[in-house]
Amino acid sequence: MPKAMTFTRGSIIYFEGDRDDRVYILQKGLITLTSIDVESNAPVTENITAGEFFGVKSALGHFPREETATALYDSICITMSVSEFENVFSSNKALIMKMLRVFSGQLRQIHRQTEDILKKDKSVNLQEGMYSVIKAFESEESWQSCSDVCKTYLLTYPSAGNKTEVEKIFKIASARAKSEGVSAAMSYGDESPDIPAFFNLPAFKRFAKTYKNGQVIITEFQHGDSFYLIQAGKVQLVKCVNGVNKNLDILKPGEFMGEMAILDNSPRSATCIASGPVECLEFNKANFEQLITGNPQIALILLKLFCKRIYDQKRRLKILVIKDSQARIADVFCMLDDLNPTDRPDGRRKFSLTISDVAHWAGYQVQQASDEIARLTSSHKIEVFDNYINVHNINDMRRIVETRSQIRQA
């Protein structure tokens, strides 16, 4: 049962880094949340007033608290477990949409911070941005993806000044994609999807879409009017930065994509590509609110997804603000360990990634990442293989990050 807790002026409700699965709603008084901005390292404060929730993201995502909560005046808070919060959340349509939009906005802001760090040219418009996606796929010879984005570009900008050039790229990419074909041996893999059973009802069959390997489901810089639930297969998220597609994430069955554009009416922030055959349910903007508020389970899945993505993206942003190149590379391994922890006492970790993947995470060119990885290899801290990298002791990576960060600050 939810219960009331009284906090006197100056009391700490919880500290940053605490693990606590309680959700709070302020009934009386004033609470301030204090955190440190990842990019500027400056303190950030947010005041919570009566009737507002706090502590939701870390509780739902089972992550450490991202801020310290302090009572500015004598305050009374209602505390509840995650399951109790879900019961309240599910029955309140206004709260559902408000929280989804707030979390969507927070995730969008983190994406913008990441983009500001990585991009040299911040003035790119949507048309130029989509064209850069075409050129990136052409450069890496991802012909199916290149063909799909060309088609979207020509439909979106039928009078573009570079229409003839894009048509030429489209023709070449389509021909090469057709000649390459898709291996019939490809399967959906052995993932165990966490998908509510009601999505398998006949009523949802009309929303079903299928994609083959390399097909683009969502194009970065495109205005979106639909979002997707992955039922089978995997989807790769990439972002075009300085003319190069950088890997953001791999989405698996049970996850949504494209929901941010629906919630805040903004252009797509990444390109979503089928990594092997993919089955999705596609929902449009017109029925989004009705679908969400009429099916609380979907809303809760989305809310938890935002919690995870916000946490993950903040952790990735921390890498990009590190100035020391070796510390930044080392923190890539620390991040992957944070997101997928193990209990091995010897600290040995095996990561299924290549030097190119490490470069993407670190925001470096492959050669720069390769040089730093070579230094780590020569000091016997890691071993590099074709499709994976062994870290002999993850604590060595943490020491590199901590030590070099202290030197830089000094």
Read off the pLDDT of residues 70-97 as tens digits, 9 standing for 90 and up: 999 999 999 999 999 988 888 888 888 8
pLDDT at 122 over 60: no
- How high is the pLDDT of residue 197? 63
pLDDT at residue 186, as a whole number: 45
Bin 219: left if φ > 0, else alpha if -120 < ψ < 50, else beta: beta
317-357 confidence digits (pLDDT tens): 889 889 899 999 999 999 999 878 887 888 999 998 889 88
| Confidence band for 184, pLDDT divided at 50, 70 and 90 | very low
pTM beyond 0.75, yes or no: no
Note the pLDDT of residue 327: 94
Q: What is the pLDDT of residues 153-183, one digit of tens each?
A: 999 999 999 999 999 999 999 999 998 875 4
Residue 124 has pLDDT above 70, yes or no: no
Q: Mean pLDDT in the chain?
A: 86
Least confident of 18-27, 144-153, 195-204: 195-204
Q: Which residue has the higher pLDDT, 254 or 237?
A: 237
